[in-house]
Amino acid sequence: MTQFEDLGLAPGLTERLAEAGLKAPTPIQEKAIPLALEGRDVLGLAQTGTGKTLAFGLPLMHRLLEQQSKPLPRSVKALVLAPTRELVNQIADNLKIYAEGSRLKVRTVVGGQSINRQINMLERGCDILVATPGRLIDLMDRRAVDLSTARNLVLDEADQMLDMGFIHALRRIAPHLGTPRQTMLFSATMPKQMEELSRAYLDNPERVQVTPPGKAADKITQSVHFLQKAEKQSRLREILDRDPGALTLVFGRTKHGSEKLMKGLVADGYNAASIHGNKSQGQRDRAIKAFRDGSINILVATDVAARGIDIPGVAHVINYELPEVPDNYVHRIGRTARAGREGEAHTFCAPEEADLLRQIQKLMKIDIPVAAGEPHPGVAPGSPRVAPPKPGGKSGSGRGRGRGASSKPRGASGGGRGAPGAKPGGAKRRRPRRSAGGGAQA
């Protein structure tokens, strides 16, 4: 088996990998790192949760460590672009772990934070800048950052950049980068526009693919529930009650709908928070932190969070509403079964969502097993059926239970504050609440 030390990385990097308990690279890392160390442009395709960040981050840091010069004021040596604030923070947090103890400076710039503070930070220059395209352009317009020294460019989750219209921003940013440069593009799916993107920005790239585009991780158990729209709330609570305390990510389609769903859960005594585009960066950061440390165990999100949450303990993903873009389904369910764990993905499909489900199954080239109901018109009826859970039993074996999550039975007394707007006399699904680090305010 290949080990990290076999790949030719700088000794300091392999030491920090060993300290983190990482010895063997994942398939995408094993294939991409040697090519990147050679200076080749790389087009990497791999499902979520397979270690793409280190696949580009380790060779990037290795090459920068070989350089002896410090970054000049306002200059950047390597630029990593990602579509969302959450993903930028996740990438930077991972890189900082392995840059610790070295002279490498990893910095982030995202919207929703003080631009003046970011200008002051960039005044000192940095080795690796991880950024969202919009805020980076704002800083470029203010002449706060010089990209002419950046000889390394990484586009992470490039397919979502295409979905979110960031291709126009990329066209503004790219001409300001230094040449010659190495460019690496990583994604979990491969829409047609991706070929055009790679031709425009990559020079004779090596294509590295470890799983077919659109395929979910093997350890994700998928199921679909055919029901009416009005039945979704009660079905959601049934699933949550099978595995109380497990970290569960619930996806809605709109900001307003997700916020309303979260408030309904909180009113029923569940430890829930929400994350979507109407939340400030501070609120989003606090909600993710509370979810990560188990202070809350249910996070309701729009697709803004689908690629920005790297929390190994997520046991369940529930598609309360189906995404308009089929690729986003792959990214949503990829938030579970991370780092070798198992996970479950439940999908609710109302009659008006039948075509969306059909498109998802066409993309993934599978029929998702049916957990409940009869397939709606327009959906292939031949899907296998999932055995129903035993009465009172959990859908899993308690895996992914949030740290610090309550193990008391529903209705137990003590410690919890009453949820605002809760039904008098104790709702049927009421459970004790802890202070959730923000709860509905997170």
User: Which tokens go with 2?
Assistant: 């290949």
- Domain range for residue 304? 220-441
- Cα–Cα distance between 149 and 75 in angstroms, integer? 6
Residues 178 and 315 in one domain: no
Residues 199 and 266 in one domain: no
The tens digit of pLDDT for each residue in 404-413 reads: 333 333 333 3
Q: Is the peptide bond before 369 cis (omega within 30 degrees of 0)?
A: no
327 part of a folded domain: yes
291 part of a folded domain: yes
Residues 146 and 266 in one domain: no
Give the start-end residues of each E strand in 333-380.
343-349, 370-372
Top mean pLDDT of 47-61, 132-146, 202-216, 371-385 is at 132-146
Residues 149 and 256 in one domain: no
**Domain termination residue (choose one: 190, 209, 228):** 209
Residues 305 and 392 in one domain: yes
- Cα–Cα distance between 94 and 116 in angstroms, integer? 25
- Cα–Cα distance between 320 and 235 in angstroms, integer? 10
The tens digit of pLDDT for each residue in 18-70 reads: 998 888 999 999 999 999 999 999 999 887 677 889 999 999 999 999 997 89
What element of type H or E holds 222? strand 220-226
354 part of a folded domain: yes
Is a pLDDT exceeding 90 seen at residue 214? Answer: no
- Cα–Cα distance between 163 and 153 in angstroms, integer? 20
Residues 43/56, Cβ–Cβ less than 8 Å: no
Residue 425 is predicted with a pLDDT of: 35
- Say what the pTM is: 0.67
CA distances from 58 to 36, 53, 72 (A): 9, 8, 23
- Cα–Cα distance between 374 and 377 in angstroms, integer? 9
The tens digit of pLDDT for each residue in 315-370 reads: 999 999 999 988 889 888 988 877 667 899 999 999 999 999 999 999 888 899 99
- Cα–Cα distance between 190 and 148 in angstroms, integer? 30
DSSP state of 231: G
Residues 204 and 225 in one domain: no
Residues 126 and 188 in one domain: yes
The type of residue at 134 is: G
CATH number of domain containing 417: 3.40.50.300
Residue 382 is predicted with a pLDDT of: 61
Domains identified in the chain, total number: 2
The type of residue at 424 is: P
Residues 344 and 380 in one domain: yes
- Cα–Cα distance between 202 and 174 in angstroms, integer? 11
Q: What is the DSSP string of 1-56?
A: ---GGGGT--HHHHHHHHHTT--S--HHHHHHHHHHHTT--EEEE--TTS-HHHHH
Residues 286/436, Cβ–Cβ less than 8 Å: no
**Domain termination residue (choose one: 159, 190, 209):** 209
Residues 247/314, Cβ–Cβ less than 8 Å: yes
215 part of a folded domain: no
Whether the CA torsion 77, 199, 136, 288 is positive or negative: it is: negative
Query: What is the average pLDDT value for the chain, to the nearest integer?
Result: 83
Residue 423 is predicted with a pLDDT of: 35
- Cα–Cα distance between 99 and 120 in angstroms, integer? 22
